[in-house]
Amino acid sequence: MTPVPDVIALGETMRSVITVHGQNREHSVPFVTHGGAESNACVALVRLGFGAAWVSRLGTDDAGDRVLEELRACGVDLRWVRRDPQRPTGWMFRDTRGLRPSTSEPVPPRARSSLRTWTGCPWSKHRRCS
């Protein structure tokens, strides 16, 4: 039997692309990770020795696969994560200088991301979980 986690967090996590600049800001490199307050809190709690589960919904895309891989590697309980073949996993682009990313990037709108449209989440019978 799977143990009951100490903490259960519900929230959206996206693929996060952060532009990291070199010492002289001459060379920039992308750092790709995941970003979401709830999943980040779960990772921190696991590192402190607590059991933490994350509840969410991700697209059945490469971005969703990577988010799950990273969180699983950190020890987060993912038993309540659902995958949505109709909606993509959200993306977030960030520049460490505080500049806005180019608006020409093909980014799926967050309003259409998999968690934003979840109408059948385990803790809500008739309301949207967002």
In a domain, 1, yes or no: no
Average pLDDT over residues 102-106: 43
Q: Per residue in 79-100, pLDDT tens? A: 999 999 999 999 988 776 655 5
Q: Does residue 1 surpass a pLDDT of 80?
A: no
In a domain, 113, yes or no: yes
CATH code of 36's domain: 3.40.1190.20
Max avg pLDDT among 28-37, 75-84, 95-104: 75-84
Pairwise pLDDT comparison (25 vs 55), residue with the higher score: 55
| Distance (Å) of CA 53 to CA 2, 20, 62, 124 | 11, 30, 22, 17
Indicate the pTM of the whole model.
0.73
Counted domains in the chain: 1
In a domain, 73, yes or no: yes
The residue segments making up the domain with residue 28 are 7-117
